[in-house]
């Protein structure tokens, strides 16, 4: 295996198993090869690392799209023994595959963390690369889950291989996964997800809302990166940024977005309840803060409204959506503001202060600001929330 010296961009795709290799070749890779994604690149500037099994390598090399892929990027494989793949959990294995590829990074490079089920709008890679050329170190993109069976059937039937952002939003609306639906405040079911990725309002042609977990599509990875055991894409992005100016966030679907598939019934280890309340949504956002995230990165993602739309935006509908989402988000924001100021810092300064300390390894598990004061405040409020009744908690908000 060669290193990636001389290349500007590294694309990593872990993929194994017949179903996922087929999905990668039939659905994901065609969108990646769009003329404003991989299709605009030359093999001298970009390398595409596929981490797979022996059977997967054969299937990919024998596919009709493989010559087209090689025409635009230099392709490298890392091959795992079938016995290793069968003995590892999928989440753990995927991140081990990322690490195996990153072990060959000897010079700083723009790294795109992909997966077998990623479905990209045309122009997404071009915009991300342009952002990296302007000096950004991380590009975050809204990512939405769709229901695998219906979505794959529709895409194969339509033959869409170079989807516009408008087409992507139409696909989301037609094939919403239940995790996505559980983050929509005006859904008739009142579904609520215990591990919220976003808080959205569904418009007639899209969504407006706040994302607290976006996909770190492109990350400027330093030379000889240390191995990280889990959430590789998240942690490298966090470890390599110093200030908010280092981060690009695609707030509008016209800039690009990503869809990923999931089977019906998949809940990522969380729970979905129905006929929930606005207060429950806010409560889940507060609880979500306790999972050990790099808090400032997520707060920056939530600091503005993201809008996914197919065609022109109805401004009255948009305004209604903003108000509905903020009915959930403002009490959450008030908690942050209150406890950031109690810790001795202005909330806006807290958001815009440096994101890391000199002890960068600590940032992997950092829950708030480097002083740890706001983190302590969050712990206190979690204990308070656990002690009081829901009515008392609502009153406190």
Residue 356: CB partners within 8 Å, gap ≥ 6? 238, 239, 241, 242, 363, 370
Give just the sign of the alpha carbon dihedral 111, 113, 119, 120: negative
Provide the pLDDT for residue 2: 72
- Compute the distance between CA of residue 51 and CA of residue 145 in angstroms, rounded to an integer: 23
Going from the first residue of the chain to its last (397 residues), give the mean pLDDT of each consecutive group of 10, the final group possibly shorter.
86 94 96 97 96 95 97 97 81 89 95 95 97 95 95 94 97 97 96 93 98 91 86 77 87 96 89 93 81 70 93 97 95 72 48 40 31 39 37 35
Surface-to-core class of residue 374, CB atoms within 10 Å of its CB (0-12 exposed, 13-18 middle, 19+ buried): buried
- Crossing angle of helices 278-288 and 373-387, in 10° steps, is 140
Residue-level pLDDT at 300: 82
Identify the pLDDT of residue 233.
75
pLDDT at residue 237, rounded to an integer: 79
The reported pLDDT for the residue numbered 239 is 75
Taking the C-alpha atoms of residue 36 and residue 110, their distance in angstroms, rounded to an integer, is: 17
pLDDT of residue 293: 60
Supply the pLDDT for residue 244: 83
* pTM for the model: 0.85
Calculate the alpha carbon distances from 13 to 38, 82, 235, 252, 336 in Å. 13, 17, 17, 25, 37
Using DSSP's 3-state secondary structure scheme, residue 36 falls into coil
| pLDDT attached to residue 39 | 97
E strands, the chain, in order:
9-14, 46-53, 74-80, 109-113, 119-120, 138-141, 143-147, 192-193, 198-203, 206-211, 215-221, 247-249, 258-262, 272-273, 306-309
């Amino acid at each position: 295996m060669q290193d990636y010296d001389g290349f500007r961009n590294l694309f990593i795709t872990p993929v194994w198993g017949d179903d996922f290799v087929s999905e990668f070749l039939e659905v994901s890779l065609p969108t990646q090869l769009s003329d404003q994604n991989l299709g605009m690149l030359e093999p001298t500037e970009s390398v595409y690392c596929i981490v797979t099994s022996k059977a997967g390598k054969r299937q990919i090399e024998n596919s009709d799209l493989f010559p087209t892929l090689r025409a635009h990027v230099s392709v490298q494989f890392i091959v795992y023994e079938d016995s290793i793949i069968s003995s590892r959990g999928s989440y753990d294995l995927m991140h081990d595959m990322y690490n195996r590829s990153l072990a060959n990074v000897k010079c700083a490079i723009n790294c795109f963390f992909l997966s077998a089920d990623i479905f990209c709008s045309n122009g997404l890679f071009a915009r991300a690369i342009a952002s990296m050329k302007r000096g950004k170190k991380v590009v975050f993109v809204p990512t939405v889950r769709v229901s695998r069976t219906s979505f794959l059937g529709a895409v194969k039937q339509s033959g869409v291989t170079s989807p516009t952002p408008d087409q992507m939003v139409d696909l989301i609306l037609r094939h919403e996964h239940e995790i996505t639906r559980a983050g929509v405040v005006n859904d008739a079911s009142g579904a609520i997800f215990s591990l919220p990725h976003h808080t959205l309002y569904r418009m007639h042609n899209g969504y407006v809302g706040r994302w607290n977990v976006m996909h770190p599509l492109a990350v400027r990875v330093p030379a000889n990166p240390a191995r990280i055991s889990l959430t590789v894409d998240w942690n490298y992005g966090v470890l390599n940024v110093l200030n908010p100016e280092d981060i690009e966030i695609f707030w509008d679907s016209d800039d690009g977005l990503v869809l990923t598939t999931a089977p019906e019934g998949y809940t990522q280890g969380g729970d979905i309840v129905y006929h929930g309340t606005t207060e429950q949504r806010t409560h889940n956002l507060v609880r979500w803060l306790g999972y050990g995230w790099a808090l400032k990165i997520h707060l920056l993602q939530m600091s503005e409204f993201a809008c996914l739309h197919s065609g022109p935006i109805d401004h009255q509908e948009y305004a209604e959506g903003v108000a509905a989402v903020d009915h959930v988000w403002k009490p959450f924001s008030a908690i942050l503001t209150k406890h950031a100021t109690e810790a001795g810092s202005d909330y806006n300064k807290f958001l815009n202060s440096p994101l890391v300390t000199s002890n960068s390894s600590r940032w992997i598990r950092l829950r708030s600001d480097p002083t740890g004061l706001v983190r302590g405040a969050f712990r206190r409020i979690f204990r308070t929330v656990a002690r009081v009744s829901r009515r008392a908690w609502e009153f406190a908000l």
